[in-house]
């Protein structure tokens, strides 16, 4: 255990400007020390716990890539059975791959059963730990190491899976979307999620310097652009109703966001790239309209 006052301590092996590290650090600040964290396999897990070191100053467990929600449900059941639940918060913090793809069965089961815990998806939009392969969270037209652009492909063929809506469909009393680029918003939402009884879900947009191809000093800038272009809407959903939406002051064109990252660079040179950018703009406009951003 690391002797600092930070619940998520510095000195870990994340990239400079790592989105996952920012997420973990600010979330724990918000939730406080009376919590137990479950993390599936992924960047955050690997860079924070090279034996015998650990960045976690809260009790923490990593089991596997696809079972964080089930492990968390076991922790919750144990604390209840042993009379130790009290105010202790149980939080799973998983990547988009762990959450949206391989872990969705266990996550769905845990939410349907109604365990009192919070699941946070830190969505850096690909399998970063294994070298930036595509996940169900990878956006339309992005290149990854398994969706490269080429003569016959413009990159990822499909838009992001709408995970917050899926979690909402489980009857979760609190679902929120936020971004590491808005630490206060993220902290408020994660704290609230842990305070609401029942299974709650927070989806955190997390720009990854290495995977997306931008300078490590620009993590926050990229995250803000995603929000300001309306590609990433941030909201609170309580008992099924949208109760808060982050309003965009100056809506920016998606090109500004796309241009800033290597994973979309091809769109500005390939034939038909302009049409794809147009489609991405349509996705953003739909969000802006749908959620009144």
Partner 1 sequence: MSKLTVVEGSYAVAHAAKVCRPDVIPAYPITPQTHIVEELSKFAANGEIGACEYITVESEFSAISALIGACAAGARTYSATTSQGLALMHEVLFNASGMRLPLVMTVANRAMSAPLSIWNDHQDSIAQRDTGWIQLYAEDPQEAADMTPQVYKICEDNKIMLPAMACFDGFILTHVYEPVVLLEQDLTDEFLPPFAPEHILDPSNPKTFGAFADPGVYSEFRYMQELGMSAALKKIETVADEFNEIYGRYYGGLIDGYYLDDAEIVLVAMGSVIGTIKDVLDELRAEGKKVGLLKIRSFRPFPTDAIRNAVKNAAIIVPLDKSISIGKYEGALCTEIKASLYNTKIDIPVLGYMFGHGGRDIPPERIKKIVSEAEKAIVNGITIESSYVDLREELL
Ligand X SMILES: Cc1ncc(C[n+]2csc(CCOP(=O)(O)OP(=O)(O)O)c2C)c(N)n1
Alpha helices in 141-259 (DSSP H): 163-168, 183-195, 209-212, 219-228, 254-259
Rounded CA-CA distance 233/177 in Å is 7
Instruction: Please identify, among the stretches 48-56, 174-182, 206-214, 254-262, the one whose residues bind ligand SF4 according to the rule CB under 6 A.
Output: 206-214
Rounded CA-CA distance 16/274 in Å is 33
Output the furthest CA–CA distance in the chain (Å, rounded). 63
Is 43 one of the binding residues for ligand SF4 (CB under 6 A)? Answer: yes
- Nearest approach, Cβ of residue 17 and ligand SF4 (Å): 7
- Whether residue 246 contacts residue 182, with contact meaning beta carbons closer than 8 Å, is answered with yes
Is 124 one of the binding residues for ligand SF4 (CB under 6 A)? Answer: yes
Q: 3-class DSSP state for residue 269?
A: coil
- Can you say how many angstroms the Cα of residue 70 is from the centroid of all Cα atoms in its chain? 18
Closest to ligand X by CB, 56 vs 228, is: 56
Closest to ligand X by CB, 162 vs 197, is: 162
- Residues 6 or more apart whose Cβ sits within 8 Å of residue 70: 106, 109, 110
Beta bridge partners of 150: 153
The site partner of 47 among ligand X, ligand SF4, Mg ion, none (C-beta below 5 to 8 Å per kind) is ligand SF4
Rounded CA-CA distance 275/250 in Å is 24
Instruction: Please identify, among the stretches 134-142, 207-215, 227-235, 256-264, the one whose residues bind ligand SF4 according to the rule CB under 6 A.
Output: 207-215
Among 73, 124, 156, 177, binds ligand X (CB under 6 A): 124
Q: Between 107 and 146, how does the x/- string for binding to partner 1 read (CB under 8 A)?
A: -xxx-xx---------------------------------
Distances (CA, A) of 91 to 24, 152, 222: 11, 42, 26
The site partner of 61 among partner 1, Mg ion, ligand X, none (C-beta below 5 to 8 Å per kind) is partner 1
- Nearest approach, Cβ of residue 227 and ligand SF4 (Å): 19
**Is the alpha carbon torsion for 283, 286, 291, 293 positive or negative?**
positive
> What part of residues 95-134 is at the interface with Mg ion (CB under 5 A)?
95-96, 124, 128
Rounded CA-CA distance 144/55 in Å is 29
Is 20 one of the binding residues for Mg ion (CB under 5 A)? Answer: no
Crossing angle of the two packed helices 19-31 and 219-228, in degrees rounded to 10: 80
Instruction: Please identify, among the stretches 68-76, 92-100, 143-151, 270-278, the one whose residues bind Mg ion according to the rule CB under 5 A.
Output: 92-100
- Nearest approach, Cβ of residue 211 and ligand SF4 (Å): 5
- Nearest approach, Cβ of residue 126 and ligand SF4 (Å): 9
Among 7, 27, 39, 41, binds ligand X (CB under 6 A): 41
Q: Between 162 and 201, how does the x/- string for binding to partner 1 read (CB under 8 A)?
A: ----------------------------------------
> What part of residues 20-59 is at the interface with partner 1 (CB under 8 A)?
33-36, 38, 45-46, 49-52, 54, 56-59
- Can you say how many angstroms the Cα of residue 166 is from the centroid of all Cα atoms in its chain? 15
- Residues 6 or more apart whose Cβ sits within 8 Å of residue 83: none
Which residues form the interface with ligand SF4 (CB under 6 A)? 14-15, 18-20, 43, 47, 124, 128, 208-211
């Amino acid at each position: 255990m690391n002797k600092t006052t930070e619940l998520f301590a510095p000195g870990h092996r994340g990239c400079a400007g790592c989105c996952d590290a920012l997420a973990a650090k600010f979330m724990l600040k918000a939730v406080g020390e009376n919590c137990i964290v479950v993390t599936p396999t992924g960047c955050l897990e690997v860079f924070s716990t090279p034996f015998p070191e650990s960045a976690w100053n809260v009790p923490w467990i990593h089991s596997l890539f696809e079972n964080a929600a089930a492990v968390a449900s076991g922790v919750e059941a144990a604390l209840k059975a042993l009379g130790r639940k009290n105010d202790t918060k149980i939080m799973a913090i998983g990547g988009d791959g762990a959450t949206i793809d391989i872990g969705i069965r266990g996550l769905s089961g845990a939410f349907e059963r109604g365990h009192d815990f919070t699941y946070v998806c830190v969505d850096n939009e690909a399998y970063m730990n294994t070298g930036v392969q595509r996940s169900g969270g990878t956006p339309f037209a992005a290149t990854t190491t398994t969706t490269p652009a080429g003569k016959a492909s413009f990159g990822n063929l499909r838009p992001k899976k709408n995970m917050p809506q899926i979690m909402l469909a489980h009857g979760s009393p609190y679902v929120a979307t936020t971004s590491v680029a808005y630490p206060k918003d993220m902290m408020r939402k994660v704290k609230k999620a842990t305070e609401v009884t029942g299974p709650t879900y927070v989806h955190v947009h997390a720009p990854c310097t290495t995977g997306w191809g931008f300078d490590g000093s620009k993590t926050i800038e990229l995250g803000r652009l995603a929000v300001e272009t309306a590609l990433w809407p941030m909201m609170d959903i309580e008992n099924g109703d949208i109760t808060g939406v982050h309003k965009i002051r100056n809506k920016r064109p998606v090109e500004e966001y796309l241009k800033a990252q290597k994973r979309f660079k091809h769109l500005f040179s390939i034939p038909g790239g302009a049409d794809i950018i147009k489609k991405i703009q349509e996705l953003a406009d739909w969000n802006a309209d749908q959620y009144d951003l």
